[in-house]
Every structure is written in C-alpha cells, then in structure tokens.
Amino acid sequence: MWKILIADDEPKIRKGLRELVESFDLPLKVCGEARNGLEAVRLIGEEKPDVALVDICMPKLNGIQLMERIRENHGECRMIIVSGYNEFTYAKEAMALGVRNYILKPVEEQELYEALRSLMEELTKERSRQRFIELANYQLEQHREYLQGVFFNDWIEGRLTDSERAGQKELLSVSIGQEAELVLVSIQNNRTLSLRMEDSHISEDVYQFALKNILEELLEDCGPVYLFVDRYQNVAGIFHGAGQEPGRRQRYVGERLEQILGGTCTLVFRSCMEENFPEVYGEALQEVQRALECRPVVTEAKKYLYEHFREAEIDLNLVARSIGISPAYLSRLMKQELGMSFKDFLTSLRINEAIVLMRSTSRSINEISDMVGYKSQHYFSTAFKNIMGISPSEHRKNIV
C-alpha cells in the first residue's frame, strides 16, 4: 500500500480529493492532510508519503517552495500539482522540480486517476529495482573476497582492458595506490604441514584460507591487503608497501610463517606499481618456481630415501656415500632445496608410513615402530608427537 498526502488550504478541496483517491481501485492510502505549506513539511517528515498532491497557492509556504523542500529532503516522494492557475510559469517551475503532473481545478476524476495509476506503476517498478539492487549488493558483499580473487587472477593473466580493470576495482572496492608491494607464498615444499593436512583431512582450500588469515594479520600495518589464490595454488597478494624494505618484511613474515606453520614456505616480496603488477607477479612466480626445483643431487638423495627409509641403519653418511658427495654438502643442499633438514625429511617419511600402517593394519605400535625404521618405540613415539602433536596410541584411538 502506497501513502499519499494532500496539501491544500481549502477544506472542501481536501475532502473532495480524499474521497476521490479513496474511491479509486488503487493501492493508495491517504496518510494526512495539510492546510498550509509548513504543516505539509511537518507531515511529510513524519509520514514519509510516496506521493504528494500539492496546491500552488497556500499560506506560510506556497506550493513551489514546498516542492523545493520535498526535493531537498524527501527526493523519493513523487509530486502532483493540483492548482486553479493555468500559468505556464508555474508549470515550468513545477516540472523543473520533478513534478509528474499539473492538474487544473476543478479536478477531473479520470485525469487524476490516470496520473495516480501511472505513478503507482512507476513506484512499483522502482521498488522492484531497489530490491534487486539491495539483493545484488548483499550478494556482492557476501562473495566479495571470492570475486576479488577472480578479478586479480583475470588481471595477472591479462584478461582485462584498462577500463574493465578500473570498473571492477570500483565495484569491488579495491584501492591499491601507486606505492604497492606484491607477496607470493608457496607451500609445495612444506612436507611437515602436508603430512598434518593428510592426517587431519584438512583440504587445501581450508589451509589456503588459514594462510590468508595469517598473512593479513602479519601485514595488518600495510593498510588493505588483497590476497587470492593463483592458478598454481600459491597465495598471492598486493598491498600498500610504503614504509619498509621488501627484504626486511620478507624476512619477518618468513620467520613468523615458519613458527606458525611448522615448516618452510617459499616466500617472495616485490615492490611494484599498479601498472606493472602483472609483470612483477610473473617475475615473482618464476623465482618461486626456481626455488622449488631441486638440484639433481637432492633429487637423487630423495629417491634413495624413499626406497630405504624403513631401514633402521639409514643415516646422512650412508645416503651421502651412496650418491658420492660429502655429508655436510648434502645436508646443506637439502636444507636449501627442501626447507628442512635431512633428519626432518627422513622423520616425515617414516611417520607418514606409520600413519598408513595404523590405518590399514591392526599391528601394534611397537611393530609399526620397527617396520618404519625405529629401533626404539620410545624414539618413535617422541618423533611422532613432535610432528603430529599427539602420541601414536592417541592417534590410533582417533582413527577408531
């Protein structure tokens, strides 16, 4: 039901207009009658009518002045002039103020009906349009982070024109500025974390969500931080970078990520501008991919360990001797290439195998300890708890 206000200084006119309006088969309700312009201003503020029938000549505030007030403070209210003056000047002023119709007294029933019916259709369409806009804005707000991720991937992949980029930035409330910084994080070499994820059935999506939250917290002093997952499953982002050297920030964030995640991530920071963001991202991606490529000697050591990690006598010296390099050199290379020591890599292989055996067999903890290369169940339990956070027996209970 739409609300209509009648503003006229003649009681008979107000009564006649009310009776006419109420006789129409329209979703309209008279919410008030005003005897002068000031009273109309007050009633419009209180009742918030959708339509106002306004006389031109009224005391205290005439119709033109009243319509100016309505336009300034209640722009959503539609106005119809009902006047005894057939003056072009009045009509021109009224139209300039957004008046839909100018009806002369005495009012003809059909003319008023058609004017109101037309306004009802317009108001109904406007309300539907407003509801659609509100729904679209709600959906946009609910999925803003996802849509920003799509936008940034389209940007770095070169799928947007300058005008499309500008339009989407405004729509998604993305504000970067000229002095920006790019961050790119890969966890492909974080084997300790991968093992935990496999055991706890944490999906990669959930992990990436957690990583983005951690990065947002670590970079909270950098203003808005826009993080997304690229097509290589790296977490990438861009933010306001002024105030600190990228190298210093990279060291700080890298150390904190190691502490929180319990492993090593490949991390790259780069200064950039909005104009060269895709190019700088490409350079950072190449650096990450180079960092993830193991040297042949490390690949050979890994292959040997995959084949022999179940043997209790396996150690750094034995593996180094088998591939013809010094233990110290192999240890240093594995730390550089894998982000973890020889001992940690061997331990992760053994604990991963132990978990598989717990799930697929009914063998005792002591038997499993022996099968994955531990001479002592005590050492096995200690290593298992260091990686998984719980003892082997607790883990088996969880499986059951």
* CA 104/CA 66 separation, integer angstroms: 18
Q: What's the pLDDT at 128?
A: 87
**CATH code for the domain in which residue 208 is found:** 3.30.70.270
Domain finish residue from 139, 169, 199: 139
Total number of domains constituting the chain: 3
Kindly state whether residues 336 and 255 are assigned to the same domain: no
pLDDT string in tens for the chain (400-residue length): 899 999 998 999 999 999 999 999 999 999 999 998 899 989 999 999 999 898 888 888 887 888 888 888 887 888 888 887 766 566 666 676 667 777 888 888 899 899 999 888 988 898 888 888 888 778 878 888 888 889 999 998 888 888 998 999 888 888 887 778 899 988 655 544 554 555 555 556 777 787 888 888 888 887 788 999 888 888 999 987 655 666 677 778 887 887 776 656 778 888 888 888 899 999 998 888 776 666 677 878 887 888 888 999 999 999 999 888 888 888 888 888 777 889 998 998 899 888 888 877 889 999 999 999 998 899 999 999 988 889 999 888 886 6
Edge-to-edge strand list for the sheet holding 235-240: 225-229, 235-240, 180-186, 266-272
Same domain, 124 and 16: yes
The DSSP-derived string for 51-95 is EEEE-SS-SSS-HHHHHHHHHHH-TT-EEEEEES---HHHHHHHH
Cβ neighbour number for residue 242 with a 10 Å cutoff? 12
Buried (b) or exposed (e) across 354-366, using 16+ Cβ within 10 A? bbebbeeeeeebe
Q: Which domain holds residue 163?
A: 146-292
Same domain as 167, residue 121: no
Per-residue pLDDT reduced to its tens digit, 123-162: 889 888 888 888 877 887 888 888 888 999 999 888 888 8
Residue at which a domain ends, from 226, 258, 292: 292
Residue 298: predicted pLDDT: 82
**Predicted local distance difference test score (pLDDT) of residue 318:** 93
By percentage, how much of the chain surpasses pLDDT 70?
Answer: 87
Residue 196: what pLDDT? 52
Distances (CA, A) of 109 to 6, 17, 28, 119, 397: 16, 9, 15, 15, 84
Residue 43: the pLDDT is 93
CATH of residue 302: 1.10.10.60
Residues 100 and 200 reside in one and the same domain: no
Residues 169 and 282 in one domain: yes
φ/ψ of residue 312, rounded to 5: -65, -30
**CA distances for 202 relative to 35, 178, 212, 256, angstroms:** 71, 38, 15, 21
Answer yes or no: do 130 and 177 share one domain.
no
d(C-alpha 252, C-alpha 218), whole Å = 9
pLDDT per residue over 171-188, tens digit each? 888 888 777 889 998 865
- Both 113 and 130 in one domain: the answer is yes
CA distance 383 to 349: 11
